[in-house]
Structure 1
Amino acid sequence: MLAFKKEYPLSAMARVAVADVAVPFYQPIIGRDRRVRGYEALARRWDAVTQSYQGIDFASLDQDESLHLDILMLRAIMGDLPALAKGGPYALSINLNPAIFSPTYQTLLLRILAQARQLGITIWFEVLEHARLESRYRALIEELRAHGAHIACDDFGSLACNFQRLMALPYDIVKLDRSLLLQAARTPHACKMLTGLVAYLQRLGMAVVCEGVETQTHVELANGLGCDYQQGYAYARPSPLSRWC
């Protein structure tokens, strides 16, 4: 079972800095049949300068702030699940916070899995490229898998996410870093290499998502690679769930 540890509350200053600013936006994940097969939930917050919702630089936040934002996100996602299920069946991809050992955070992950299962939604939990894959982290990942989660390797092919990292966990899904698609667009050799990589991962039983598909050229290239899914601005930008449901 999940090993809960004592959770230390955020300081008052940290809560003021981040409270009530994270909302989930959703970006479609497109299947080979060009139909929406799922969504990725992405954190956004209102920017007073641009008067628009912007992405959040989690790397600039400390662990408490980052965790608090993700807890806000999970609670909001839980509220969105019934509306999402009406258009399904869908997959919903959610980034895992590296500070996964918070009892509140763990409880929310399990509640989302239970609610999603009842609604016919498949949850993908994305293991971020900078998460430390120590033994207790891997154990928690396997516990989530035992509760029905599919585990995705995020940004495979980036400097921080290589084959050693891919071998550290038995992933169900591999999300290709955008840099691989851009490199494949430059030379036939890179394209041939990436096509072979996609086929290899699929032979090992992993579904492959091509991320960063931003132009029609990218769409055609991703089609040729044989990826199971595509995701990117060529299809849609992340938006509130009300746009999709």
Structure 2
Amino acid sequence: MLHQTLHQYTGHPRLASSQKSVVAFYQPIIDQQQQVTGYEVLARQWDPVARCYQGIEFNRLGEHEILNIDIAMLKAVVGDLPALAKNGGCVLSINLNPMMACATYQQLLLWILLKSRKLGITIWFEVLEHAPLDQEQRELINVLRCHGAHIACDDFGTRDCNFQRLMAMPYDIVKLDRTLLIQACKENYALKMLTGLVKYLQQFSIRVVCEGVETERHIEVVNQIGCDYWQGYAYAIPSPLSRWV
């Protein structure tokens, strides 16, 4: 039934064409021992002018275009899971689409959880900072959690992702927006505040990921504030899975 649903959804020419040039890139997630503990999957699209894969400007796309891309990404992840599991269990972090009501999208999420559990892969689903958290979305998130997913709050520290949003539902992981790290690198007061914030979140058994780690100074500050994990160009840029496995 799932394969039939996928065929019905992607068989439309306009929908299929919007997915063709989208590929999954992976960026390592680094732990406190400076080891790769997992990856975040990111959408990239071929740019015929620059002749390379580049990030997608989602703010310029409509809801259905974004949903089509996310469905293509989930299908790519399903195919990549066995390769990810070759080196043992790891974490895989995936963004949740705000339009989670799509049946095909929901089935793919559950399919990934089922297959990843068999392969020893832990799934983090990231709730984007602008995503609605109405009853319907919360119910699906709870279903995903019951099936083994860990739920992450993405880009904490931005205007749309503050303490009010953090208090709206329980999270297993909080991903700090890179602007917090940049400010902490500039001002000692901000550094102390961010250190206190990380310790506070960890008291609730919330693991903290610092994003945007790009320089030696960033690495120094991340270690100082005690984040559980970090991501950024200081280690590696997002790349095809073949680079990592």
Q: Following superposition of structure 1 onto structure 2, how do residues 187-226 of structure 1 map, counting pairs within 5 Å?
A: 187-226=187-226
Is 1:21 the counterpart of 2:36? The answer is: no
User: Is the CA contact (8 Å cut-off) linking 2:22 and 2:69 kept in structure 1?
Assistant: yes
Give the TM-score normalised by structure 1.
Answer: 0.94
Give the secondary structure class of the aligned counterpart of 1:168.
Answer: coil
Give the SS at the match of 2:24.
strand
* Mapped contact 1:22–1:72 kept (Cα < 8 A): yes
* Counterpart-to-counterpart distance in 1, 2:85 and 2:11: 36
Gaps of 5+ in 1: 1-7
What amino acid maps onto 1:226 in structure 2? Answer: G
1:142 alignment partner AA: N
Q: What SS does the aligned partner of 1:185 have?
A: helix
2:240 corresponding residue in structure 1? 240
Deviation at 1:63, TM superposition (A): 1.1
CA distance in 2, matches of 1:125, 1:19: 21
Residue correspondence of structure 1 range 152-163 to structure 2 within 5 A: 152-163=152-163
Query: In the aligned structure 2, how far is the partner of 1:13 from the partner of 1:242?
Result: 29
Residue 87 of structure 1 corresponds to which residue in structure 2? Answer: 87
Say which SS state the counterpart of residue 137 (structure 1) adopts.
helix
Q: CA deviation at 1:14?
A: 4.1
Structure ranking higher in helix proportion:
2
* 1:112 corresponds to 2:79: no
Structure 1 residue 226, shift from structure 2 partner: 0.2
Write out aligned runs for 1:1-245 (5 A).
Answer: 14-15=14-15, 18-245=18-245
Please give the alpha-carbon distance, in whole angstroms, between the structure 2 residues aligned to 1:133 and 1:22.
27
Residue 243 of structure 1 aligns with an amino acid whose one-letter code is R
Contact kept in structure 1, 2:10 and 2:16, CA below 8 Å: no
SS at match of 2:130: coil
Is the contact between residue 10 and residue 65 of structure 1 (CA under 8 Å) also seen in structure 2? no
* RMSD of aligned alpha carbons: 1.5
For the residues of structure 2 that align with 1:78 and 1:12, how far apart are their CA atoms? 21
